[in-house]
Amino acid sequence: MRKTLTTLHHMVRDGEKIVALTCYDASFAKLLEEAGVDILLVGDSLGMVLQGRESTLPVTLEQMVYHVECVARGSTQAFIVADMPFGSYQDNPQQAFRNASQLLRAGAHMVKLEGGQAMLETTHFLVERGVPVFGHLGLTPQSVHQLGGYRVQGKAEADAQQLQQDAVDLCAAGASLMLLECIPAALAHAVTKAISAPTIGIGAGPDCSGQVLVLYDLLGIYAGKAPKFAKNFMQGATSIQQAVEHYVADVKGQRFPGPEHSF
Ligand code: KIV
């Protein structure tokens, strides 16, 4: 049976961690959900891991629609989330709705938007019109040039307070999941307690409601040094399927992420 937002909220209520992974095609969609992954995130990270770009900024709406369609064709069970690419939602809420509707038509069940206060009006506008919104706070890769690189966010007290306020306000505006990327574990813990929406962490410590990784990081495919929050699950596995099963078991069993993957 297809997982829904209600399924995910019930998992949190029952103390079960949510497992998410990025996914960009039909074959992996089938494999990942058969291994027990709850959320398939068609992330704009595809710009980096599939297209070889230096950032996610060049990814277009048309490319996202294509990959969402591929994932949706391979999937029967998972909850599918699509990233709204850079420039497809920041103008105004009407632009965001027009473009989000294309991603939902392609097979996504929810869209993910990066940003805090600047996204409140758009979040409310989308949710009022039936588009579920996944907030994304902390290291927001579409703002890499503003942030001065891929760095841990929310370390200073004022930044941490602002991030927590952003999470509270986005939930009040209707966001029903919250991605927390590269922030101190203690801050992610505080945000998770402060909001009713499940939090999904990447580089945000063990206390989020669930975890996400970029599929290629889990498979040990990265150029140069692995990010601190990543783990190569191919080590000790005899197949890709088994590596993903180990990731699912380690997140559900609260063995991943460990302190060595957290800030
Ligand atoms: O695009 C992406 O892969 C993401 C990650 C943070 C999971 O948003």
Residue 73: the pLDDT is: 98
| pTM passes above 0.85 | yes
- From the candidates 54, 128, 181, 245, which is the catalytic residue? 181
Could you tell me the CA-to-CA distances from 226 to 101, 182, 203, 220, 221 in Å, in that order? 35, 14, 12, 8, 9
Q: Which atom of ligand 1 is nearest to the CA of 136?
A: 8
Atom of ligand 1 nearest to the CA of 179: 6
Structure tokens at 171: 């939930």
Position 224 scores a pLDDT of 77
Please work out whether the CB of residue 83 comes within 6 Å of at least one atom of ligand 1: yes
CB of 213 closer than 8 Å to CB of 220? no
Return the pLDDT at 226.
86
Residue 181 Cβ inside 6 Å of ligand 1? The answer reads: yes
- Predicted confidence at residue 194, as pLDDT, reads 98
pLDDT given for residue 223 in this prediction: 74
Can you list the domains of the chain with their CATH numbers? 5-261 (3.20.20.60)
Q: Is 43 in the pocket of ligand 1 (CB under 6 A)?
A: yes
* Ligand 1 close to Cβ of residue 33 (< 6 A): no
Distances (CA, A) of 77 to 23, 50, 253: 14, 24, 21
Instruction: Please tell me the distance between residue 225's alpha carbon and the centre of ligand 1 in angstroms.
Output: 18
Distance from C-alpha of 75 to C-alpha of 235, rounded to nearest angstrom = 26
Q: Output the tens digit of pLDDT for each of the chain's 263 residues.
A: 999 999 999 999 999 999 999 999 999 999 999 999 999 999 999 999 999 999 999 999 999 999 999 999 999 999 999 999 999 999 999 999 999 999 999 999 999 999 999 999 999 999 999 999 999 999 999 999 999 999 999 999 999 999 999 999 999 999 999 999 999 999 999 999 999 999 999 999 999 999 999 999 999 998 778 899 999 999 999 999 999 999 999 999 999 999 999 99
| pLDDT score recorded for residue 232 | 96
Task: Give the closest residue (by CA) to ligand 1 atom 2.
Answer: 43
pLDDT value for 225? 83
Distance of alpha carbon 45 from alpha carbon 48, whole angstroms? 5
